[in-house]
Amino acid sequence: MTAVFLGLPTAPRGVGHLRGDRSFPDAARDALRDGQLRANLGHATATIRGKRAAVVGEVPDWEQLRQAGRAIKAATMARLDEHLVALEERVTARGGTVHWARDANEANEIVTRLVQATGTDEVVKVKSMATQEIGLNEALEAAGIAAHETDLAELIVQLGDDKPSHILVPAIHKNRAEIREIFLRTMPGVDPGLTDEPRKLAMAARAHLRERFLRARVAISGANFAVAETGTLSVVESEGNGRMCLTLPQTLITVMGIEKLVPTWRDLEVFLQLLPRSSTGERMNPYTSLWTGVTPDDGPQEFHLVLVDNGRTAVLADEVGREALHCIRCSACLNVCPVYERAGGHAYGSVYPGPIGAVLSPQLTGVEDNASLPYASSLCGACYDACPVAIDIPSILVHLRAEHVEAQTRTTPEAAAFRALSAAMSNPRLWRLAQRAAGLGRFLARGKPTLPAALPPPASKWTRTRDLPAPPRETFTQAWAREHGS
């Protein structure tokens, strides 16, 4: 059911990685038992949190920058259609070709066709969320084309036949020892004496990748930003592997969600300050690549830009939820999220985990296809505080919960309970009766200060790990009225 989105198409089922096969509480239950995962994530997120806090703290106008980022994004979304057409014109004028993809299937078909036209059967890839979202690697594989991930963490995930669990550090759930094991098992010709020293691991990956960079005729990338007024695309990264892909091959295909653009070149000034400090906790990222169409005899001589909707227009139609499209994929919200830190990225079932995933995935797919995600948050608000473009994630979560509740055609037991409670809480006489009934619960405690530890469901969800105090004989308002004679 996608009725909530005014009938605009959401991301199709059966393709891409926006839906998990289990609900969040189910998947989290298993993840929480994985001590190694908890240790790896706890350590990694605490480290990045500390680095981010330090470099954000040294920018005196951080709050103004954030508000500028938010304002630019909001203004861009309000005229997204015009900016996209402008971008297409500029890219085309500079020798590139623009393709429009309604959804994941169309985008995969376009890219597969473009790769096939070059006659190659392998591509190198720059780390990209959009291509993960649409399941491009699987689509290429089905067409007999091998896609080699070149981002170190993405490579670890690919070699380990695993799934990414973080937007920026897809292998955050793995520690050095586990990475060494994956490399030893899967890298052809790797030094059998490989240790888990970070430098040694990086050198092994470098040797493995170097060969592919030199051989590749086609590269596929995503984009952090596209500048509508100039037709310039941008990728921001740390390793330089992206730069290799963006410059060496003959053909470059960039797959980009339609929300990634900014109107003017100057707007980059704001985001290139916000992004590195929020994501890796660096003042500036090591590599910022910018390219505009094709430059004769320099870099790729064929450039294709695939603009993907895949549910984004539907998100744009929701006046509360559309703010999720402002995301610049920095991962700060993941790193500060207490739920993400414990349950890990896989529990969210989508390539977009953490707080932003919990508001983006259900909107892209329609909330009924990811109905447990809006509830996967204690609404502590740490994400909102950390977000460099000030996305009010808690408010969107609450909004999506309501969208889910209001999409139900039958009355669930929960809805019945909440309606009854609403009736009581809006009528003082009924409310006092309800309070008196709740007070009867004290008899279950049989004179003890807490209720029994084993209560029937749904109370058991609380009492399995927490005592519940025995309700008092008299409420405060009752006692007060008695004493003050009102």
Partner 1 sequence: MKVALFATCLVDTMVPQVARATAVLLERLGHEVVVPPDQACCGQMHVNTGYRREAVPIVANHVRAFAGAEAIVAPSGSCVASIHHQQAAVARRAGEHALADEAAALAERTYELSQFLVDVLGVTDVGAYYPHRVTYHPTCHSLRLLRVGDRPLRLLRAVRGLDLVELPAADQCCGFGGTFAVKNAETSTAMLTDKMANVLSTHAEVCTAGDASCLMHIGGGLSRLRSGTRTVHLAEILASTEEAVSPHQSTQPAVSR
Residues in contact with partner 1, total (CB under 8 A)?
69
Site residues for ligand SF4, 344-403, by CB under 6 A, read 356, 386-389, 391
Given a contact cutoff of 8 angstroms between Cβ atoms, the answer to whether 126 and 246 are in contact is yes
Q: Give the CB-side neighbour count of residue 351, counting CA atoms within 13 A.
A: 20
Beta carbon nearer to partner 1, 117 or 453: 453
Nearer to ligand SF4, 253 or 256 (CB): 256
Complex with ligand SF4: residue 175 or 395, whichever CB lies closer: 395
Q: Which residue has the tokens 């055609």?
A: 409
Choice between 44 and 305, CB closer to partner 1: 44
Binding partner of residue 259 among ligand SF4, partner 1, none, CB under 5 to 8 Å per kind? none
When asked if residue 443 is in the footprint of partner 1 (CB under 8 A), the reply is no
Which of partner 1, ligand SF4, none does 410 bind, CB closer than 5 to 8 A by kind?
none
Residues numbered 296 to 325 that lie near partner 1 (CB under 8 A) are none
Q: Which one, of 221, 239, 388, lies nearest residue 290 by Cα?
A: 221
Tokens 């409310």 correspond to 431
Q: By rule CB under 8 A, what string of x and - marks binding of each residue 32-71 to partner 1? A: x-----x---------------------------------
Q: Rounded to the nearest whole angstrom, what is the least distance from the CB of residue 281 to ligand SF4 in the complex?
A: 13
User: C-beta of 429: minimal distance to ligand SF4 in Å?
Assistant: 45
Q: Are 293 and 96 in contact (CB under 8 A)?
A: yes
Tokens representing 129 are 């969320």
Instruction: Name the minimum Å distance from CB 191 to partner 1.
Output: 39
The residue among 125 and 329 lying less far from ligand SF4, judged by its C-beta, is 329
Residues in contact with 138: Cβ distance below 8 Å, sequence separation at least 6, in sequence order: none
Nearest distance in Å: CB 437, partner 1: 10
308-338 in b/e form (b: 16+ CB < 10 A) is: bbbbbbbbbebeebbbbbbbbbbbbbbbbbe
> Nearer to partner 1 by C-beta: 142 or 415?
415
Residue 44 has which token pair? 């990694």
> Which of 209, 246, 307, 333 touches ligand SF4 (CB under 6 A)?
333
Both tokens assigned to 83: 């900016």
Q: In which element (H, E) is residue 235 found? A: strand 232-237
Lookup result for tokens 């500390």: 50
Q: Which of 207, 415, 433, 443 binds partner 1 (CB under 8 A)?
A: 415
Structure tokens at 169: 């550090």
By CB under 6 A, the residues from 292 to 331 that bind ligand SF4 are 327-331
d(CA 156, CA 335): 20
Tell me: cis bond preceding 338? Omega within 30 of 0 counts: no
Contact 145, 364 (CB under 8 A): no
* Shortest Cβ 418–partner 1 spacing (Å): 5
- Contact residues toward partner 1 (CB under 8 A) are 24-25, 28-29, 32, 38, 338-339, 342-343, 374-382, 384-385, 398, 401-406, 414-415, 418-419, 421-428, 431, 435, 438-439, 445, 448-450, 453, 458, 461-462, 464-469, 471-472, 474-477, 479-481, 484, 486
- Contact residues toward ligand SF4 (CB under 6 A) are 278, 327-333, 356, 386-389, 391
